[in-house]
Chains A and B, each alone.
Chain A
């Protein structure tokens, strides 16, 4: 089944220790998104790639970076995680070019910062 896969599902890191979360998709969608979701809140968009073009949200901290080496993979790097970065991180894809405007979400990675 075509899908969005996120690894790991649970990640524990220490305060200030860099961490990378990964996302892959088999949908061949050209847009990939990273969201941060805290408990009982709406997902907050961090950035997205439209093809290779990176689009950062104005309020995304510099601590958060992303890489998209190819269509299928996208990474979220948190350079120096703080306690406030503990959250669920969601990857999503869409393909507006082919009329697929809805976003398909992965299961998320729950990040704990100790």
Chain B
């Protein structure tokens, strides 16, 4: 069965600090990988996605993620966070056979000004 693990449940950073949020998945087939962000009081928005090709994908607002197939990982990074990045971040994997997204448990990021 597919599953997604996010290791950091709650992260607190100061502005300008670098961010890396871990995501590991288990699925043996071809995967499509996503990071979604949910700002306080707002709906889920797609941050970035990986389908194929360059394993380093760039998303909105300066975020990027690297797909490492051998490690079953898709970690999210940002070199310098801002207060406005305070949000909950969800990693998700789509495995074609089920037509479903499997979400991780989410990481709550708080950026202190």
Q: How far is the CA of A101 from the CA of B90 in the complex (A)?
A: 16
Q: How far is the CA of A94 from the CA of B44 in the complex (A)?
A: 14
Known contacts A42-B103, A43-B103: does B44 contact A105 (CB below 8 Å)? yes
Give the size of the chain A interface in residues (CB under 8 angstroms): 22
Q: How far is the CA of A106 from the CA of B43 in the complex (A)?
A: 7
Interface size class of B (residues with CB under 8 A): 20 to 34
Q: Is the CB of B44 within 8 A of A90?
A: yes
Count of A-B contacts with CB under 8 A? 47
Q: Is the CB of B42 within 8 A of A107?
A: yes
List A residues 8-43 near B (Cβ within 8 Å): 31, 33, 40-43
List B residues 42-77 near A (Cβ within 8 Å): 42-46, 49, 51
Q: How far is the CA of A108 from the CA of B44 in the complex (A)?
A: 9
* Residues of chain A within 8 A of B44, CB atoms compared: 43, 90, 92, 105
Nearest CB in chain A to that of B100: its residue: A45
Interface SS of chain A: strand
Contact of B99 among A31, A105, A108 (CB under 8 A): A31
Nearest CB in chain A to that of B36: its residue: A105
Shortest B22–chain A CB gap in Å is 15
Q: Is the CB of A41 within 8 A of B106?
A: yes
Contact of A41 among B32, B94, B105 (CB under 8 A): B105
- B70-107 interface bits toward A, Cβ cutoff 8 Å, 1 = contact, 0 = none: 00000000000000000010100010100111011110
On B, residues with C-beta under 8 Å from A are 32, 34, 36, 42-46, 49, 51, 88, 90, 94, 96, 99-101, 103-106, 108
Some 9 contacts from A to B, beta carbons below 8 A apart, are A43-B44, A94-B99, A96-B96, A101-B49, A101-B94, A102-B34, A102-B49, A105-B45, A106-B43
